[in-house]
Structure 1
């Protein structure tokens, strides 16, 4: 109990000002540890806020502090369960708890039901008790749930959206079952946030119907889902959408969201995305390219990347993970193409490969992105090579004999900064004076962070 109290105190200390506004923090912690009667001066609303920051199991243990805390725990509006469906005790705990909430008509604001064994991920449903889970969802929806998270369960999503209280819906490892168009909720005005992760869509038109039904949705996450293996473009059209995240869903996308504030993409190849209308409110945009197949990272790949970055929006962050060094045929780069220069604020590069210098890789990298800032995470040897080659490109731009490579000689200035791991503060970044090969003289395989400010 003492160790648990210490853990609770650390959590409360971190978020104390939010949770116990108006209560002197130090005195509260002492009373909590000593379990003095004065702990009951806290209102039930405040106790709810404290318990909601803990897991349901930890919140249950806190109920022994006093009768007031027990009462607050018994009608806690946030419930989260991680269940092994093969264990009767796990099922009984959830069933008894929700039965009490049903009988007492206790409001439920947030409900999480996670599968401890990822049954859906293992493609096995034999142990699932569907009628029991259906009953639980019925209680939760009847009691006015606003924030709902479910995993490893086949469900009719439009039946959930028909409940007007649901504002946030998170589905993981679920199957979205098809429904007839006549039963689809055409206007779902309550949902604000929808997240689909590792979800299987039985009907390839379901995503389109779903987005068309959620008229006021503000946040949409779609990652690693199946069921859209088609060449037909998936259209995301929403005036209300502000936050969009798509990860590893390599189909053709058309995005028409004029009020988008944040756009995050993760792909293994150059994405096929058409921005129908660029949002003037877009503050943050990030694309992550995980180059798992190094054979595809060639001159044609960098040309596609430059074209994508030039024809699309201004990108706040571009991330490239390179797992193997390839020699790029510079002559094959479309140096005379008529695309405008890319708009990239920050380019983050992780270099996994260890052997061999590749100046053509650096050339193709900066040519395709032309970032204002370049962050590199790699071995000391690779970072040293980056510094040396970028300085070479800078010096080349100041010479008069670069007619053969005009696009690669636009770099006017380079400033390098190295991270000092001994201090995790803003001032831990220190300027690096260029002395060829200096960083790699000792411990060349040590991994380091370095960033460059590039002036084009």
Structure 2
């Protein structure tokens, strides 16, 4: 028998073994694919077709169809925006009718649609009805490229007792008298226009769904939410998580929030919102069960006092205009601090073993980081004696101007002991020496046990970075005893980046 035949037999054997896996495992495999891709996999065997025909996760994305049919449309000259849409809608309708007839369970349904007209709206109503009848647990629906739509979610959806997750983008949230979303845990609304949200319905969901966590990037402004002071007759809200705001777009914070009815709130994230120092203090005073607080890109904050016995996690991100931060949180176990080195940090009651990370903001109009910047960074570390990790993001446009003699003379006491130094410099590692000068400055003020370097340069290797460190980083020559490669893996934030971890031993 030829070698090629052996390989073919081996591949067939492996395919047969995969086909023999239990149905729920094959469902999990196919659930990672777009529904059209999963359909293509079904041609592998009769077994795969049977599994695909009743897969509980249906993911219909028009954008994927457009990409697939683009080359074909160019070659044969048909209108991709018409023919592909009709083919796409027909495929969904045929699939949903099969699930309706066979009563197959639908656990998750994702619909990405063209801007709906009356015909499409009628189809979507039917698909949602089938999903509800087949005990759907998660529904995600949005229009392609986030076009504004007049499509109103049908009433039957709000009687879906099995629904756990509802995500809507630019889809109208209407009002219905009946609502039985007793299992709803997550509600996400991303709308361009607040008029797309019927406030009475939003009030009902937030006030009476016992498990719901509410996430919105819509500027709710001063709409009548159930926790406003004038709504004093509302019972305590079951809301556990509230995410409010949107990156790169300011949202108006609801000024008349009555925190008394939000005593069950555990997590609060505020992004790019018009929140002030006084509002932060009022929230922390009233939210007695709050465990996690995120303040991200809130430019009106100047001097904030974080005082909370219940708080366990605190993230202050992009605090560009913050002048002073005071923390009195005796049960804090995780802290992410992303402010400028000029910001004053005062700690009153914090745990010694709190996982505290400092990521100094380098968003500056200056072209260089100077020696004074390193002095200020050193002062924050030594005055607080709080941070275990230091995260430095070096933008590609930013240079480092270090006066080595001045830094060497000024830093005479023992460097700050640090658990880990994380250096993110995706574009500058190979060609520019200024990031290496930055390491000199950092090593003079702190001695990390681990150095983590994240880069997107494809040709980087642990050995090449190690050679650069030995040749160009001056601290290597006088205070660094040894360095070893500890680990190499993909970065968690961006899959195209690589993280190199080195173990450092100091004299």
TM > 0.5 = yes
Query: Which residue matches 2:169?
Result: none
Residue 306 (structure 1) aligned with residue 378 (structure 2): yes
Distance 1:209 1:66, change over 3 A: closer
CA contact (8 A) 1:158 1:185 kept: no
CA contact (8 A) 1:40 1:66 kept: no
Question: Separation in 2 of the partners of 1:176 and 1:94?
Answer: 30
CA displacement at 1:386 relative to structure 2:
2.3
TM-score, structure 1 normalization: 0.66
Residue 412 (structure 1) aligned with residue 481 (structure 2): yes
Question: Separation in 2 of the partners of 1:362 and 1:212?
Answer: 42
Distance 1:143 1:360, change over 3 A: closer
Query: Which residue matches 1:194?
Result: 268
Give SS of 2:305's match.
strand
Residue 366 (structure 1) aligned with residue 427 (structure 2): no
Taking only aligned residues, the RMSD between alpha carbons, in angstroms, comes to 4.3
CA displacement at 1:195 relative to structure 2:
0.8
Shifted more, 106-115 versus 364-373: the winner is 106-115
Give SS of 2:259's match.
coil
Query: Which residue matches 1:344?
Result: 418
CA displacement at 1:301 relative to structure 2:
0.5
Query: Which residue matches 1:245?
Result: 315
Show the 5 A alignment for 1:270-289.
Answer: 271-280=343-352, 282=354, 284-289=355-360
Residue 386 (structure 1) aligned with residue 469 (structure 2): yes
Distance 1:55 1:242, change over 3 A: farther
Query: Which residue matches 1:71?
Result: 133
CA displacement at 1:455 relative to structure 2:
1.1
Deviation string, structure 1 residues 359-403 (Cα, Å, up to 9, x no partner) = 64332121223211112345658764323134x644x43xxxxxx
Query: Which residue matches 2:208?
Result: 143
CA contact (8 A) 1:347 1:369 kept: no
Question: Separation in 1 of the partners of 2:417 and 2:102?
Answer: 56
Structure possessing the higher relative contact order (Cα contacts under 8 Å, 6 or more residues apart): 1
CA contact (8 A) 1:290 1:321 kept: no
Question: Separation in 2 of the partners of 1:96 and 1:111?
Answer: 17
CA displacement at 1:191 relative to structure 2:
0.4
Query: Which residue matches 1:103?
Result: 178
Residue 152 (structure 1) aligned with residue 219 (structure 2): yes
Question: Separation in 1 of the partners of 2:503 and 2:262?
Answer: 47
CA displacement at 1:257 relative to structure 2:
1.5
CA contact (8 A) 1:244 1:262 kept: yes
Give SS of 2:480's match.
coil
Distance 1:327 1:280, change over 3 A: closer
TM-score, structure 2 normalization: 0.60
